[in-house]
Structure 1
């Protein structure tokens, strides 16, 4: 009989446990082989655990902790929020805002106690949702500010006074939305007035020039500059005290021509904490003011660590990417701080700050400035951005790290999405964390977090993982596996899956799931919980990740070169295309790289001709990508390093000047002098796309040399051994060949089953060339060892048994549209898409295919193996013989060795295929869900048994 729903669900712990790892693994001691065989708990992947605000129950929390442990997770990050949770009861609506109160902290204590019992760890998001803020702690006086401009164009001569466009408060998501009952709390009765009281005109600046041409773009929050206006900086005049309350300016231009007058007004940013829960209004805290952080920490952090409240399982706290939404980043004391730090008054230069798109939330982009003042504008903007970065680091990131360390906790930091020195901000945390949603899986972006870990001496590199925009329900285990390999080959070694929702309304399948498609959101992420039929893949995937992370968290990263990153804030088009070309060619040329900032160049030292960063990372060379400017202080430090013997390379051309505005002639001269000193001491210039050749010519050794098509890789030094992890991003299998100076004999370590085999090697020009086969989307961990292991046996097919067109008994158990339950049994004479079968077009669940088979006598011989090849599978399969699980297959090729499980006589073969929730979620009447498209489901084959004979050793 086919597996019933009860049988299958009962088998799921076994499926997960097929590679789930022993609970006793609690430390990193032991040889490489020992930690690979039995990874420590800290090597297991984590999950973001979404809570529906305060609508949680202690019993269910304990159960889910146990589920996470049994499925191979090592920890969970608690994120309590309310992204428009549907179908709440009246009682649940009353509970939803139980956050940062005694009820919430009691639930949190339940979790950490249960986690300690299960050898799990817990991180807690430092505030509900994002950005940080909310509650009565963040009052209007501590809320995030913005500077908003309005331009008035005047053609002189003109008679005065002049009516000016005065900027209104830019409407965003609403800081005090009337639709949010919490804003009507009597304790916030005067908040709107207090918010309004913070409005003020900060500056009125006029200058001679033409107006910009702006246009709207649906992809961006602000207008983009189609063509910049002109500006004559020497005509600038500050007229703030000439503006009347009625908006009339008591002034006329002193000369004929076009004039621009810009009013800059301060507002509390009209956006609250997105999806935040808790009492009171949800104002975003001022990230540039220390008092705001301290108030927030007293509310959301201090009660977690009060006497008797903390459990050892509480590892640390976490801050998500900032996603602040000001028009222009602003702080009330910015002008004072700017003058103290940069040496001049920013006020007359405010118009230079108008460059929409820079560090804009969600869709930052490199737009032209409103007014083109040439080099002057670039210098002012560089000074402003440096000041904003310093204020953010000093008043938000440093206090966050200090708060955690004061309480014995780890700080986990997603520093991207904010206007700071990204590497320094990441590096202040104990666990720098990147994400694959923002980057769309861009290895160059994700390597930034690894760079910060190397520069500042951090062992773990996190990643908010497994996110696909516009794909909420159809992501497959094969895609999870491929993305994991990409992350690990990008320097990540502490994966956090996004995400695991609390089982709210679990009786109504699929229950609650955040970020599902809706009229307002196209959806994203992976549905990683028990409601997803593909949850059965998690045990095997987690075991695979744990083995690899056990190695990648150990030893040190081996990175050939450091590439300067001088930007404040970061997004994909913030640097010129030539820089991306440089990074791409470095990896293709076998040179792994870290980005390096001014801070670490200044603190770096030279040992044996290598640059040693503050955290101990070592680099064989320093590369400065194409850029016009460089801080004079950094140029001097680069010259110091070159004098001490470090190879320095300028991509395309050396910088020409200093970045800043103050005393620019002196600083520019210092930059030119320093660059000449580097050239005098051997610095070279090379094209961005030929940099690997220039490095080799200069004797800077790469990590390896590819003799086949290159792929993404990282190198580790593990207990004196060299090791590489490779990722094949292609949709077909490849053979990667490379030459390395690593001593010893190469082995392939299989993270699915823990096996090790020797790899084929040849000699090229006296060097050892290694060949490693990698499946589609797959990964390969290659370790060089002192002793040679025999290679994996080679097999040739001598007979084939086609199973596809025989009789199959099909048992389908799952759900259809609108959560209806489906249980069907059918007889099939062949294999086809389940969606073509009557009643299964919208099926999502487990489909068990069972057939009886008797092998020919000559198949059961020594020296032969019997391999099952399932062909096309949508989307994973569990293979059982006579009711005993043999293997769980989550990625192509869907095949497994059945030799040890087949005997003479009749045997029952059961292949249980799970498909994604997608087909059951399609609803032609609901926005968002009506756009989903049907996907193939089930076992499509061709299914074959292959008799294979082992080839004699060459």
Structure 2
């Protein structure tokens, strides 16, 4: 029976030792947490500091402001104030980052946070990637491998001239424009960087060259030297010759190529001078070697050790996504580690490792590799072994030391594991607080599930997200968009949002003050300043309350995720599993069929067990089924573990076909045989090969209960679900641009309530029992969500919808209007007298206005609307971008998101009423300045109160 299986599974999962804020959360405690979220459930702010150019007085004031607005804390991100004119004295103070004065300021902020009941996270280093200062000299800087290729026609006598690799030119840490590099004490750093250059290998193979796409620039800056590939070159591995000792200093190769077409490759190691992006601090800002634990130790000694152990008011330290810009990911000991870990010498196979897109720090995407092997899968195996080794070295050299350092200092480790060439899920899982972000594809909830997956697999209770980030929109993001993005993030499995971000008040006299990602002549910036200089700042208090209520629910009880969906890749980008198509077909099919999923990695499989036909992760989460995507290669030990799961009774499904071989090259025949034997054993035990389109049905037929069922068009509906003391809590979000009308079936029979996180109200909804499910109609507008709680102790009920008994359209004219704000970044205030409601773009004086506007006039309300049981709502119609309504001197809670509708029953009186509507818009229009290179590219957006408001009475 559907509900019985679900209930049994959920109740069993509840008994697992999975750390949550209150494992035994009851219906009463959940309701109380929803009404008044605990501090851990409140959202946090990324708090941008201009290096050390801060004061204790202002830090304390801003901490109090965070507390007043309903935030639970902040993440300190020290940053260089780019594109702000600084005096030499200001620049020097900014660069006192990590000096004793900065540490004192950080302690003062943490003490203030503790006194206010908040806590701070601290970015372990200024900006990202990690590094900077004298702690990371050239000898500890990260390295890259560069490749040069020469086509050679064989059959002639040598020596021959071959191309030599050059260090890719980037605007690096030792660039001439950075005054920090001009101190005489760093005069030899350039030579010391050059001294680390060495030729690693010269390899020749017979074969053809790749056909490459024409490269496009990125504002004149080189991010990667690789072009995307139209057709891979083909090499013959059997012809490989290592010629390293034949290369002369003048670049000639003492070699006579045999007949044939040869590709000759020269690989050279360089210490990369790529700098820490936007960093504050003294000295050059070289990025540390993430494969060298001594480099991390030196970095932590500089930026972390001065805090001491168990620093009061601090929760964790944080590392952002790595974003390492290397030609080929490398470490000085990589060849040595590769041979030790993979069992063979990588040197003769180096030409196979280059695959653009995957290797990039930004704009990760799919491309064919530069070279494949002729008539074999050797190249693919080599790439898998290479990536496995890079992953191992980054985890051992950076991630594990980072976590260990935090624990030794009484802190938690918070880490963004995306943006790096390693096992992403393991990287998240090693951290105490795995953190994702919504910048990827405008908040892709399927990508964000990677962090949630790690939390369930490794037993982490908080899933964090760098949130509310929009590229090229420094000043135009509205509260409505923030609310909608919040829902998308929650539907991605996140339960702790870090809002990007609050800027320390710096250069405040130049409205709106410093913004860490303000527009420049080169970029339109990111997101918006979330502080009191932003006219829509008042929306943050109700928005923080909204987030806190949702997060309080999503931190309670146990997650319900029945499907473990195998992920054996290193790194991530959308399209990594379908050759760049980015369809995410498997993930979308699971959700449409009512099954939530986690991605499970080989490391988690190695630590899992089967009990009662369920897969139990190291972290205690129980999965009802393990599904593998259509992959050819898998580690033999992983496949053997999966076969063991099948024999223990776990349903196992292979999509389209089973793996055919081991993923690596060493002892390939032996390992391939192990994979085939394990697959055969799994199939004999009941594992099945199922076409992708039939997977959901096959899972259901195997008796694996889903989270819910949809009848109707459920495309683009995403959901998460939790079990709290027997109650099933379901959050459903419509990410589509159009409405969705479905019938939703929840497991078990009970009464259903809909919880409104915006105002904290709870109301019953109509539902009916059908067999062992509870069915209810669900209509969601574009971007709308529903938080539904099924209580098996209550009964489903049918409720009559309120009937509309009267309505009245608000007048479009006769509104007294006064405004106060900015035009072209200059203060502006004006009383317009009586006006008609319209977009401010049609009013010359307001076309470039940003700020607050007060509309007021008298309206008349029908006395017949005041009979007992009648509720009156005010729908303001089109508002850009938030509104606060005052009726007869009584100010109601702000309306911050569409639909701009609120209950006004208790504020109205029969007959004449004085209505005041205060509207605030985003800063965008007030920032436009054709004379300023940074702001002239901004475009105007709709603003003001356009009208079409209505009063509606229902009973």
Instruction: Report the equivalent of 1:666.
Output: 670
2:295 aligned partner: 292
**Aligned 1:630-779 pairs, distance under 5 A:** 630-710=634-714, 711-731=717-737, 734-764=740-770, 767-779=773-785
Give 3-state SS (helix, strand or coil) of 1:887's partner.
coil
Residue-pair matches, total: 919
Counterpart in the other structure of 2:541: 539
Q: Distance in 1 between matches of 2:858 and 2:799?
A: 31
Q: Any idea what the Cα deviations from partners look like across 1:771-814, whole Å, max 9, x if unmatched?
A: 34444422211111222487776323232222232411111111
Describe the superposition over 1:472-530 as per-residue Cα deviations: whole angstroms up to 9, x where unpaired: 11111010000000111110000000011111111221111122222222322233111
Residues 113, 311 of structure 1: 8 Å contact kept: no
Counterpart Cα distance in 1 of 2:418 and 2:883 = 38
Q: Which runs of 5+ in 1 are unaligned?
A: 1-24
Question: In 2, Cα distance between the equivalents of 1:744 and 1:858?
Answer: 38
Q: Report the alpha carbon displacement of residue 546 of structure 1 after superposing the two structures with TM.
A: 0.6
Give the drift of 1:468: 1.2
Q: What's the offset of the Cα at 1:131?
A: 0.2
1:581·1:689 contact (CA, 8 Å) conserved in 2? no
Residue 254 (structure 2) pairs with residue 250 (structure 1): yes
Q: d(CA) in 1 for partners of 2:643 and 2:370? A: 36
How far, CA to CA, are the matches of 1:936 and 1:812 in structure 2?
16
The corresponding residue for 1:476 is: 478
Q: 1:28 to 1:193 in 2, by over 3 A?
A: farther
1:98-247 paired onto structure 2 within 5 Å: 98-218=96-216, 221=224, 222-247=226-251
Cα pair distance change 1:146/1:535, threshold 3 Å: same
Aligned to 1:276: 279
**Residue of structure 1 aligned with 2:377, choices 375, 378, 400:** 375
Q: Cα 1:805–1:580, aligned 2, differ >3 Å: closer, same or farther?
A: closer
Quote the offset at 1:686 in angstroms.
1.6
Equivalence for 1:397: 399
Q: Is the 8 A contact 1:558 1:717 kept in 2?
A: yes
Any conservation in 2 of the 1:757–1:792 contact (CA below 8 Å)? no
Within-5 A mapping of 1:273-672: 273-305=276-308, 311-373=311-373, 374-576=376-578, 577=581, 580-672=584-676
Counterparts of 1:737 and 1:239, CA distance in 2: 68
Distance 1:805 1:233 in 2: 78
- Looking at structure 2, the residues matched to 930 and 693 of structure 1 have their Cα atoms a distance apart, in angstroms, of 55
Deviation per CA, 1:660-712: give whole Å up to 9, x if none: 00110111111111111111111112222331112112222111111133211
**Native 8 Å contact 2:162 2:253 kept in 1:** yes
TM-score (norm 2): 0.94
Task: Give per-residue Cα distances to partners, 1:320-371, cap 9 Å, x unaligned.
Answer: 0000011001111111111111111111111111222223111122222222
Please state how far the C-alpha of 1:928 moved relative to its aligned partner.
Answer: 5.0
Secondary structure at 1:633 match in 2: helix
Asked if the contact 1:139–1:283 (Cα under 8 Å) also holds between the matched residues in 2, the reply is: yes
The SS at the match of 2:439 is helix
| Contact persistence 1:848–1:913 (CA under 8 A) | yes
Distance of 1:555 and 1:775 partners within structure 2: 29
> 2:639, 2:176 → 1: CA distance?
53
Matches within 5 A, 1:931-942: 931-942=937-948
CA displacement 1:415-472 (0-9 Å, x = unmatched): 1101111111100101100001134211110000000000000000000000111211
> Which residue pairs with 1:13 in the alignment?
none
1:412 CA drift (Å)? 0.4
* 1:932 Cα deviation from its structure 2 partner: 2.2
Is the Cα–Cα contact under 8 Å of residues 39 and 550 in structure 1 kept in the other structure? yes
Distance 1:813 1:792 in 2: 46
Per-residue CA deviation, residues 9-40 of structure 1 (Å, 9 max, x unaligned), is xxxxxxxxxxxxxxxx9x98961111111111
Contact 1:812-1:825 within 8 A present in 2 as well: yes
SS in structure 2 at match of 1:541: helix
Q: Any idea what SS the aligned residue of 2:399 has?
A: helix
Which residue is 1:884 aligned to?
Answer: 890
**Greater Cα shift, 760-769 or 68-77:** 760-769
Residue 900 of structure 2 corresponds to residue 897 of structure 1: no
CA offsets per residue over residues 705-753 of structure 1, 9 Å max, x none? Answer: 1113321100101122211111122345544421122342111111122
Q: Distance in 2 between matches of 1:421 and 1:856?
A: 65
Name which of structure 1's ranges 613-622 and 686-695 shifts more when overlaid on structure 2: 686-695
Distance across 2 between alignment mates of 1:791 and 1:581: 37
Once the 2 structures are TM-superposed, how far is the Cα of residue 181 of structure 1 from its aligned partner? 1.4
Aligned to 2:263: 260
Distance 2:745 2:860 in 1: 48
1:579 shift after superposition: 7.4
Match of 1:809 among 803, 812, 816: 816
Structure 1-normalised TM-score? Answer: 0.94
